[in-house]
């Protein structure tokens, strides 16, 4: 299973605030379209997006921002900001995320740039996740 690291608070927004788009400068590889990936919450907090976060969610960035693998989501495809009504889209490429499933507790794990392979022992846990 592949994983994608997102800066905080964007990682938790996938699960708590309906963030259905992950903005990237690159297209998702064709092989992961329709696939479940792990969502990893990185160490960096992007405070520059605080105003945007508050505009979309109606809330300030939460004080508690977990790190590590938070859960999974399906990469349903991609779009561009002008082709979607999602408030989360600003591009240039908007990866469409669906069916997010949050773990009860994050899995402590270091992230990486780009798509990376989830360690096998964690992949077994993630493959057992089912939507509530």
Domains and CATH numbers, the chain: 2-127 (2.30.130.30)
β-strands 68-79, 93-107 pairing? antiparallel
Q: Is the pLDDT assigned to residue 132 strictly greater than 70?
A: no
**What's the confidence (pLDDT) of residue 62?**
93
- The arithmetic mean of pLDDT across residues 26-45, rounded, is 97
pLDDT of residue 130: 80
- pLDDT above 90 covers what percent of the chain? 92
For residue 129, the model assigns a pLDDT of 85
Count CA within 13 A, CB hemisphere, residue 118: 25
């Amino acid at each position: 299973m592949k994983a994608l690291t997102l800066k905080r608070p964007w990682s938790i927004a996938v699960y708590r605030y309906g963030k259905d788009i992950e903005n990237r400068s690159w297209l998702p590889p064709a092989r992961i379209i329709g696939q479940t990936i792990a969502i990893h919450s990185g160490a960096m907090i992007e405070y520059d997006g605080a105003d945007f976060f508050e505009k979309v969610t109606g809330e300030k960035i939460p004080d508690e921002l977990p790190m590590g693998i938070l859960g999974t989501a399906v990469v349903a495809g991609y779009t561009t900001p002008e082709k979607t009504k999602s408030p989360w889209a600003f591009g240039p490429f908007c990866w469409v995320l669906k069916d997010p499933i949050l773990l009860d507790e994050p899995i402590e794990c270091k992230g990486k740039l780009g798509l990376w392979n989830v360690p096998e022992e964690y992949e077994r846990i993630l493959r057992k996740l089912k939507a509530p």
